[in-house]
Structure 1
Amino acid sequence: MTKAIGYAAQHSYSRLKPISFERDDPKANEVEIEVLFCGVCHSDIHQVKNEWSNTVYPCMPGHEIVGRVTRAGTGVSRHAVGDLVGVGCMIDSCRECEPCHAHEENYCEGPNSWLATYNGPMVPAKMSPDGSNMYGRDNTYGGYSSSVVVPEDFVLKIPASLKPEVAAPILCAGVTTYSPMTHWGVKAGDKVGIVGFGGLGDMAAKIAKAMGAEVTLFTTTAEKLDEAQRLGVTVVLQSDKKTMTSLANSFDFMLSTIPEKHDVNPFVQMLKRDCTLAVVGAIEPLASENNQERVMHRKSVAGSLIGSIAETQAVLDLCAEHGIGPDIQVIPIQEINKAYKHVEKGEVRFRYVIDMASLKQDEEAA
């Protein structure tokens, strides 16, 4: 066992505070990683506050992890001590179901689904055939910590041209937007609409542009117009009803990145026949959809969940190739509770990343 320290919430109404705990030593085919940077995702806030009614406490968030391998278990061949690596939303899956065999671990249909980097297993109430928890644990602690231990095949290689702090949010925000665009076949020349211009929307626009698409961003915030234009994309205020109406039946693909319940109907109207709006920002029930609009033009409203390990590596490589990444603000871990408030108010441009070297202050005080 190895001593570790991290920031965790003890209840849905409590602040994140430092706690000391122990990590397992790396087993066969596992690596131990010193966490250097960890992105702050809006889903971290949902989990800490138990807004999805599935949180296990203590809750130590963090699934946008970049660090260096410090130890390797027997049989490890993909990563070596000293390598710069990343860990996203998953650290294991059942490896036996159809999605896992298809290298789509994010849709694992095993007894406990995939094992989340924190707050896992995803379905703790389900057990293996022998009656035990498949993963042998009731909770996982994430990257708001000094170290993590992860199976090597769930660890990503960080390209040398990506700054580690910039790479961190790509492990969630990047793959969450990349995966549906590749699944629904976005290609050069396509007209793509991105709904919402926060951390996900920012990455979605950059990735769609790198794919050669013509990108239009939809936002409710006038203050973000200059930022969108700086990206070289068309931007539309959702309050501009005339422009919204003029875009009916014009998009090959649309992606909604809004992180809470919202009305998708205005955007379904903008899809061409046989095209899809994918929702990635919200997982709670949405407002009622106008099925007539879908039926009359054979349009689809679909969902997409993060992305596979292969897709995560692919989007890291794409970002490195095109020199793109999220706009970030680096913060010390001691400012995490204040950062959460800014995220909820939409006041961050566009992603907070924690410099985990700041944890040393808490280690010295412990």
Structure 2
Amino acid sequence: MTQAKAYAATSATSGLKATTIERREPGAGDVEIAIEFCGLCHSDVHTVRSEWRPATYPLVPGHEIVGTVTRIGGAVVGFAVGDTVGVGCLVDSCRECDSCLEGFEQYCENGNVGTYGVADRRNGGGLTQGGYSSSIVVDENYVLEVPAGLDPAGAAPLLCAGITTYSPLRYLEVQDGDAVGVIGLGGLGHVAVKIAKAMGATVTVFTTSPAKADAAFALGADSVVVSSDAAAMADARHTLNAILDTVAAVHDLNPYLRTLARDGALIQLGLPPEQMPPVNPGTLIRKRLAYGGSMIGGIAETQEMLHFCAEHGIVADIEMVAASELDEAYERMVAGDVKYRFVLDASTL
């Protein structure tokens, strides 16, 4: 075992405090990574504070990791010491079910292994601990190449926000000339705008805040609709082929569904804490619409996304924070006071 510096929560109300954790020695197929940057995801807040389900403590969050390979196991063939690599939301899966064999490890039918806060089935049964730490050891099959040319700090949030938005756009086969709507302009939404534009789509941003219009246009949006403006929503009816809903608060989907053209689809990405208002099936039936959901992406698709972003110069818009500022950053995330993702500078641990 080796020691790693980290910031961990010890209860739902403790905040994040400096500590040390143990990392396993690299096995034959493992990659040891010196962490340089780790994005802060809103799901980190929910998990640390036991808002989705009771967490097990102590807990080191963080699943948007970028760093440098420091050691590799004897059987590793895909990485070398000195490589810039990433680790996203998954560090293992069963590798045997249909989903895993088809490259959809995020939907592992026997339960994937998240980067933090879950039982590490292959390594003694302890909890996985995440990227708010100085190092991590991960099976090479769940390590990603960070292409040269991508700013490593700005690339970190792509390992969650990037793949979460890229995967449904690929699933829907969005291409040049399609019209895509993005509900919400936060950590997910701002990356969704960039990726959809790079795919050739015309992008409409839906927001509840007129003040976000300039920011949406600066990111590349072609139009902005204030969702509380009934006339603007009426003008947008039947104009879009696909919508990504990135909002994690309770809201009514029916007005957005009416902006879809025939055979359009709305994909839910944000996970509200409570039940949403019901979708009117008549709205779906009259235009042969689809309403679905999507969760991150598999390892191969995440690697594909990183290369796509490198080709098109896409990274997240970030604000760097020191370890001592993590609790403040959490409060600012809850208040929506960030454009658009916080990233931890691991050198401050």
Compute the TM-score of the two structures, normalised by the length of structure 1. 0.92
1:244 aligns with 2:202: no
- Contact 1:10/1:57 (CA < 8 Å) preserved in 2? yes
- Contact 2:5/2:19 (CA < 8 Å) preserved in 1? yes
Question: Which shifted more, 176-185 or 257-266?
Answer: 257-266
Question: 2: distance between equivalents of 1:232 and 1:25?
Answer: 45
Residue 308 of structure 1 corresponds to which residue in structure 2? 298
1:49 aligns with 2:38: no
Question: 1: distance between equivalents of 2:207 and 2:219?
Answer: 14
Question: For 1:266, what is the secondary structure of its paired residue?
Answer: helix
Residue 149 of structure 2 corresponds to which residue in structure 1? 161
Q: Any stretches of 5+ residues in structure 1 without a counterpart?
A: 125-132, 360-366
In the TM superposition, residue 138 of structure 1 has moved relative to its aligned partner by 4.2
Question: For 2:241, what is the secondary structure of its paired residue?
Answer: strand
Of 264, 268, 274, which residue of structure 2 is paired with 1:279? 268
Question: For 1:145, what is the secondary structure of its paired residue?
Answer: coil
Question: 2: distance between equivalents of 1:320 and 1:94?
Answer: 30
Residue 138 of structure 2 corresponds to which residue in structure 1? 150
In the TM superposition, residue 5 of structure 1 has moved relative to its aligned partner by 1.6
In the TM superposition, residue 291 of structure 1 has moved relative to its aligned partner by 1.5
Question: Which shifted more, 283-292 or 75-84?
Answer: 283-292
Of 229, 232, 235, which residue of structure 1 is paired with 2:220? 232
Question: For 1:267, what is the secondary structure of its paired residue?
Answer: helix
| Equivalence map 1:180-199=2 (5 Å) | 180-199=168-187
Measured against aligned partners, the alpha-carbon deviations of 1:213-239 in whole angstroms (never above 9, x if no partner) come to 000001112221111111231111112
1:298 aligns with 2:284: no
Residue 112 of structure 2 corresponds to which residue in structure 1? 114
Measured against aligned partners, the alpha-carbon deviations of 1:17-59 in whole angstroms (never above 9, x if no partner) come to 1111210001111011000000000111110111111522112
Question: 2: distance between equivalents of 1:232 and 1:170?
Answer: 18
1:40 aligns with 2:40: yes
Residue 14 of structure 2 corresponds to which residue in structure 1? 14
- Contact 1:42/1:259 (CA < 8 Å) preserved in 2? no
In the TM superposition, residue 262 of structure 1 has moved relative to its aligned partner by 2.1
Question: 1: distance between equivalents of 2:152 and 2:220?
Answer: 25
Q: CA RMSD in A?
A: 1.3
In the TM superposition, residue 270 of structure 1 has moved relative to its aligned partner by 1.1
Of 208, 216, 219, which residue of structure 1 is paired with 2:207? 219
How many residues are matched? Answer: 347
Question: Which shifted more, 11-20 or 167-176?
Answer: 11-20
Measured against aligned partners, the alpha-carbon deviations of 1:108-147 in whole angstroms (never above 9, x if no partner) come to 001xx110000124xx9xxxxxxxx566424210000011
Q: Any stretches of 5+ residues in structure 2 without a counterpart?
A: none
Question: 1: distance between equivalents of 2:228 and 2:331?
Answer: 26
Measured against aligned partners, the alpha-carbon deviations of 1:144-198 in whole angstroms (never above 9, x if no partner) come to 0011100001101011101110110001000000000001111110000000000
Question: 2: distance between equivalents of 1:261 and 1:120?
Answer: 27
